[in-house]
Structure 1
Amino acid sequence: MSHQQYSRWVTLASMAAVTVATLLIVGKLIAWLMTDSSSLLASLTDSFMDVSASLINLFAIRYALVPADDEHRFGHGKAESLAGLIQSAFISGSALLLMMHGISSLLNQAPVQRLEAGLWVSGGSILLTLLLVSFQRWVVVRTNSVAIKADMLHYRSDLLLNAGVLLALVLAGQGWFWADGLFAILIGLFLVWGAVQIGYESVQALLDRQLPEEEQARIMALCCAVEGVHGVHDLRTRQSGPTRFAQLHLELDDQLPLVKAHQIADEAELAVRQSFERMDVIIHMDPISVLTKEQKGPHPEQQ
């Protein structure tokens, strides 16, 4: 996928999230005013957090797609991970407020008014969110965007949240008034768990976590497959937004002319670039005789 295609799809996914969240806010606000349901208020509060987080996501993605400049030589991709961290904070704050309201509702149980409005809005929320999550998953598979992945996890949790609200309203309609407050508390706990997951992934990206082991092994295998390469060592990888970065040392014969060594390094770099989308590769060339036994990297023939 080209940079232009990546930009188009992640921006479209972000705009879709903002649109859906706005529609849900309007519907849930009307339903809450009609029913005075604690679980619906919990869902409404979450939708307010959704639209705030999605707006942050949209601006962060647009910034992350800005090409590298003189002050940001590695690009602006980490803005996506920063957006995920902000989302985590938003979700955690809303979850604590929801649990407090749920406890208050449990202590002061009351029947839900105009139950049908709440049921219709909750059912519609599930359908809209399901369509959004399906589209976001399609975009994530094709772009591997950290920000869209965080947004997708958030809205996927909303599916269970809205299903919980629907069940709470049904139980409250049967006279089990405690269900409304209890489900508000459970929804809050569920949101905290989702926030922890999003926050962890965002922090790991900001701390330059290595690429998955299978991708590292693939990079080394591609380099070692180039004729003239005796091994690879000191591989370092990370990801910033849509771009992966790899730095490594190639082990070459001592007597190779500089031009030939440079040609081999270019072949290894090209092999990695062609195998991975949006990969930035830096290669250092080492004469094999000066390496210690500990420094020498593996070669497929030696494994």
Structure 2
Amino acid sequence: MQGDRVQRVFIIVLILNLAVALAKAAFGLLAGSVSMVADALHSGFDSFSNIVGIIALYLAGKPPDPEHPYGHGKIETLGTLVIGAMLLLTSAGILFEGYRRLVNPVTPAITPVTVAVMVGTLIINIAVSTYERRRGEEYRSQILIADSLHTRSDVFVSTAVIGGFLAVRLGFPQADPIIAFAIGLLIARMGVGILYDAAEVLTDAMNLPCDPALIRAVVTDTPGVAGYHDFRCRGKPGEIFADIHITVDPALPVAGAHAISDEVERRLKEMVPGLAEVVVHIEPDDSP
């Protein structure tokens, strides 16, 4: 099943993210670098988001039941809300620590080992985020794609930390807490973005990849369809629910009109990526 494949990706990414976070935290504490420890927290939160993703996907994969006739797919979106909220909390902690270090400066010890750790974890982050994004696009998984963007932000954060190391070596120790501030703001921005995207899905915003030109081509190309209107869709990528009104010859018998609606439904599900269900309403064509 697709959900199982996505969960396997999360487990692989979880292991790699834990290794990266532990390496950054250990050497960041030894060096006394707040920006490196902040980056480790960010990487550690990647691990937490992986766990949230695994749990959310497990629950979202449950079949429909009488209380949830549309299935449990939105639990995946609820998981992204949890990730966004935790990102904001992490951001607040990093900003506070950056402020504390700015008021009471401590010059971190920059060694070839700490730089090597950052460069090594940077390479791992690039590989992990690329792998996760490609699998997310292949499986059309909302939470996997969002998590890949989260991991990709580590690439920019780690690059900033390495730049801070260079600034400290050049005699600007204030750069370390300032970069921690930048990391905190970056995480906050990312958290707000994740919350916004999740809210769009939960409020049934029609911002999904339902190409109007494709809908028009599929529907109007179906024999017996005179026209259509009021196409609407909601849900998330990979699990879209839609409804549409089509017009047919008013002289058609009920069975004939129903056969046309069945054909429209079949063609839309076949041609529109991620369309899980579509309700086709039949109306008589009243055009001249």
TM class, shorter-length = over 0.9
1:236 alignment partner, SS class: strand
RMSD: 1.8
2:279 alignment partner, SS class: strand
Q: Say if 2:31 and 2:108, in contact at 8 Å, map to a contact too.
A: yes
1:235 alignment partner, SS class: strand
- 1:213-270 Cα offsets, whole Å, 9 max, x none, are 7523322331121111111112110124631111111101111011111111111111
2:139 equivalent to 1:120: no
1:256 alignment partner, SS class: coil
2:238 is matched with 242
Aligned-residue offset at 1:116: 2.5
Corresponding residue to 2:282 among 281, 285, 296:
285
Q: TM-score, normalised by structure 1?
A: 0.89
Aligned-residue offset at 1:144: 2.2
Q: Identity rate of aligned residues, in percent? A: 26
Corresponding residue to 2:94 among 88, 98, 113:
98
2:191 is matched with 195
Residue type of the alignment partner of 1:282: V
2:111 equivalent to 1:153: no
Alignment of 1:174-253 (within 5 A): 174-212=170-208, 215-240=211-236, 242-253=238-249
Structure 2 residues without counterparts, runs of 5 or longer: none
1:263 is matched with 259
2:104 is matched with 108
Q: Distance in 2 between matches of 1:50 and 1:214?
A: 30
1:169 is matched with 165
Aligned-residue offset at 1:195: 1.1
2:80 equivalent to 1:63: no
2:52 alignment partner, SS class: helix
Q: Distance in 1 between matches of 2:210 and 2:52?
A: 32
Q: TM-score, normalised by structure 2?
A: 0.93
Aligned length: 287
- 1:261-291 Cα offsets, whole Å, 9 max, x none, are 11111111111111124421111111123x9
- 1:50-99 Cα offsets, whole Å, 9 max, x none, are 21121111110121122222221111111121111111111111111111
Q: Distance in 2 between matches of 1:158 and 1:22?
A: 13
More displaced stretch, 124-133 vs 241-250: 241-250
Aligned-residue offset at 1:46: 1.3
Residue type of the alignment partner of 2:3: S
Q: Distance in 2 between matches of 1:159 and 1:193?
A: 16
Q: Say if 2:122 and 2:159, in contact at 8 Å, map to a contact too.
A: yes
- 1:80-121 Cα offsets, whole Å, 9 max, x none, are 211111111111111111111112212222222252232122
